[in-house]
Amino acid sequence: MDFSSALDFICKEAKRQGADDFDALAGESNSIGLDLFEGKVKNTEISSSRGIGIRLFKNGCPGYSFTEKFSKEALAQTVKDAVAHTLLTGPLDLDLPEPGVLPELDLELWSNELETVSLEQMKKLGLALEASALAKDKRIANIPYLGVSRSSGYSLICNSHGVRYSVKGNSIFAGLGVVAKDGDSTKMGIYSNSARSIDEFNTTFMAETAVERGISLLGAHSINSGRMPVVLSNRISPQIISMFTSPFYAEVVQKGQSKLEGMLNTQIAGDKITITCNPHIKGYPGSRLFDGEGVVSAPCPVIENGILRNYLYNLESAKKDKRQSTGNASRDYSGQVGTGFSNLVMDKGSSTLDDLLAASPECLYITNLEGSSGCSSISGEISIGVQGYLVKSGKIVHPVDGITVSTNFFTLLKEIDGLSNEYSDTHSSVKVPDILVASMHVAG
């Protein structure tokens, strides 16, 4: 059974099996790509997968199920499972949306041209990246990670009130991780990005950036423990902010797991900080016209000049707080409804990166995070290994590794002293500039 027919069938079956209300989400994804090693293709992958998930309500109680099998028997069993699950859950107070008017925006999520990019073109791009990287510096000992792939996705959502929306998107990815070696010092430099056309990739720039990132950390050593100003590169500031998005979700606040509970319309960050959840930015991967529950999406201010303006809502959390959903339901066909940012954008500042680095006599400029395990979105604790550079009077003195930095995210928000006027060039749904933090604990 094809994709659309399967969705129709599951909806009919839900009605037949006595569902009062339901919404269903079908998703299909395709990808093609390869990775290379030492001038040869190491792995090639061609994939196609699809599935349908349903949330149905009976006597006000929700039940979920999903399937990747599109036979009539499998789809009917999926509905049966969801119905059975309604017997286990309690009533859930929410109103599924009625059909709405989607904004007339071209979010530029799809490119026909991209669908014609062949494996041969990807191989050529990968080989060019490898050759450029090796030619750039003799200290590049190895390129263990080098891949190019393109992927596309199509999803369709409908509900028992007549909502039926679809969206499709595609992108191409290329990236490399190089190992730089000098004596006993070994460092990795990574550059990767996604684009909407293969022609957007500048292989020389990408390769040289990865090489530079590895080489410039060779010979890194620790620094003394203490407190000092820190500049978070725009390469890693989006990673840090992304780890602490859940405290802004109303469902997390309602369940007592957010330190932002009761903080609406209060100052939670430095007055330079403005964060918006904006689903309507052209070409951003998180852009969308509707959310995972079929609610029409719209921009939502989260922090304005340091003041917390809004939590993000889905239908359930909105009903609890007696307000409208902000259109931030997240969902894939195999999962349950949650909450998520579409695109998270922190406004840029007016300083240059050099201004931030020169703002104090001495600072730590962090360009690499070692994992994310030392960060808890619940407590806000940050304790994490980092690499970067010691900077004095605006000049890099030496690369640094073997250190950790420690603070609390909610303290960090208040201690932001400056923002640069530049985002990293990464094709990402999270855009955050370089950040100057007044002080963090450094252990070395």
Partner 1 sequence: MENTLAQNIIQSGLDRGADFVEIFEEEARNASVVFKDKKVESARAGTEYGIGIRLVYGFEVLYGFTSKANEEELLTIVRSLALSKGISADTQKPPITLAPVSVTDIHTVTQDPRVVGQEHKLPLLKRADEAARNYSTKISQVSVSASDMVSDIYICNSDGLVIEDSRVRSRFSISVTAGENGDIFAAREAPGSMQGFEFLEGLDCEKYALQAAQRAELMLSAGYIKGKQMPVIMGNGFGGVIFHEACGHPLETESIRRKASPFIGKLGQSIAHSKVTAIDDGTIANGWGSSNIDDEGNPTQKTVLIENGILKSYMSDKVSASELNLPVTGSSRRESYKYAPVSRMRNTYIAAGTDSFEDMVTSVDDGLYAKKMGGGSVNPATGEFNFVVEEGYIIEGGKIKGPVRGATLIGKGHEILPMISMVGTDLELAAGMCGASSGLIPASVGQPTLKVDNILVGGR
Q: Which of 177, 174, 178, 180 is nearest to 203 (CA)?
A: 174
Closest Cα to residue 404, out of 381, 435, 423, 380?
Answer: 381
Residues 225-254 that bind partner 1 (CB under 8 A): 225
The site map against partner 1 for 329-348 (x = CB under 8 A) is -----x-x------------
Residue whose C-alpha is closest to residue 147's, from 61, 241, 62, 34: 34
* Interface region with partner 1, contact rule CB under 8 A, candidates 233-241, 356-364, 379-387, 429-437: 379-387
Instruction: Pick the piece of the chain touching partner 1 (CB under 8 A) from 7-15, 168-176, 392-400, 402-410.
Output: 402-410
b/e 130-157 (16+ beta carbons within 10 angstroms → b): bebbbebbebbeebebbbbbbbbbbbbb
Q: Is 217 helix (H, G, I), strand (E, B) or coil?
A: coil
Binding mask 11-50 for partner 1 (x = CB under 8 A): -----------------------x--x--xxxxxxxxxxx
Per rule CB under 8 A, is residue 320 in the interface with partner 1?
Answer: no
Is 107 in contact with 282 (CB distance < 8 Å)? yes
* CB nearer partner 1, residue 107 or residue 308: 308
Binding track, positions 356-375, relative to partner 1; x by CB under 8 A: --------------xxxxx-
50/431 with CB nearer partner 1: 50
Q: Is 145 in the site for partner 1 (CB under 8 A)?
A: yes
Evaluate whether 238 touches 419 at the Cβ level (below 8 Å): no
Q: How many CB atoms lie within 10 A of CB 265?
A: 10
For the chain, state the CA radius of gyration: 24
257 touches partner 1 by CB under 8 A: yes
The tokens of 316 are what?
């359930």
- CA-based nearest residue to 336, from 49, 85, 11: 85
Tell me if residue 24 falls in helix, strand or coil.
strand
Measured CA to CA, the distance from residue 364 to residue 378 in angstroms comes to 26
Closest CA to 78 of 59, 96, 53: 53
Q: Which residue from 204, 242, 404, 411 is in contact with partner 1, where contact means CB under 8 A?
A: 404
- Distance between CA atoms of residues 288 and 103, nearest Å: 10
Binding-site member from 177, 340, 349, 399 for partner 1 (CB under 8 A): 177
Judged by CB under 8 A, does residue 179 bind partner 1? yes
By C-beta, is 207 or 300 nearer to partner 1?
A: 207
CB of 95 to partner 1, least distance (A): 19
Rule CB under 8 A: is residue 192 a binding residue for partner 1? no
Stretch that binds partner 1, among 197-205, 256-264, 388-396, 411-419 (CB under 8 A): 256-264
Is there binding between residue 267 and partner 1 (CB under 8 A)? no
* Cα first-last separation, the chain: 60
Kindly state whether residue 256 participates in binding partner 1, applying the rule CB under 8 A.
Answer: yes
Among positions 52-81, residues that touch partner 1 (CB under 8 A) are 53, 62-70, 74, 77-78, 81
Among 249, 321, 264, 293, smallest CA distance to 93 is for 321
**Out of 204, 376, 411, 439, which residue is the one contacting partner 1 (CB under 8 A)?**
376
Number of residues that bind partner 1 (CB under 8 A): 77
Return the range that interacts with partner 1 (CB under 8 A); candidates 10-18, 84-92, 99-107, 321-329: 84-92
